[in-house]
Amino acid sequence: MHQTQALLVDRRAALALAAAALLAGCASPPAPRAPTGTVGRREPAAPMPASRAPLDIDPGEREAAVAQAMLLVNTPYTYGGNTPRGGFDCSGLIQYVFAQVTEGARRLPRSTAQWAAVSEPVADAQMQRGDLVFFNTSGAAFSHMGLYVGNDQFVHAPSTGGTVRKVSLDNRYFAARYMGARRVFAA
């Protein structure tokens, strides 16, 4: 009987670990680590070009995308979420924003890696409102994203227990994990 209880505890621990691993994707940030170098944004590595045909969304939709994202601030974070009612994860937020401002008939990416694949790198000096910003929050490139809203601020769905919020790109946590900006709008 005692051995059975120990086995049950081990199984519960294994299930808890598996559940935590599933929720880690665009969800909870890893344990903070000491910043490297200066407090400002790190210089992103050489940007990867789009690996698929870029989305080329009408540039006239930039301000609508920013306005839509701002309307969603304070919406609860939900892993896998992609609606205001159900909550958002980071890429679900971006997918929802662009579905609202485009005709929605096009198939939009869902994951951060898919968004990176259909977007073109843009230098920080050329960044415009509505561009996407990417971060490495889990040890993998493009593991978190947000929508740039100007003045070095971006809107994102941060992690379990949080809400969609506007944050500075110079935030100590995000500055150390910044991967660069990318554009989904036509030139």
> So which residues are the catalytic ones?
90, 144, 156
Please provide the DSSP assignment of 36-64 as one string: -S-SSPPPPPSPPPPSS----B-GGGHHH
Q: Interior CA angle at 110 toward 67 and 104, to 5°?
A: 55
- How far apart, in whole angstroms, are the C-alpha atoms of residue 8 and residue 29? 30
User: Would you say 135 and 175 are in contact if contact means Cβ atoms under 8 Å apart?
Assistant: no
Pairing of strands 153-156, 144-150: antiparallel
Cα separation, 17 vs 58, in Å, equals 43
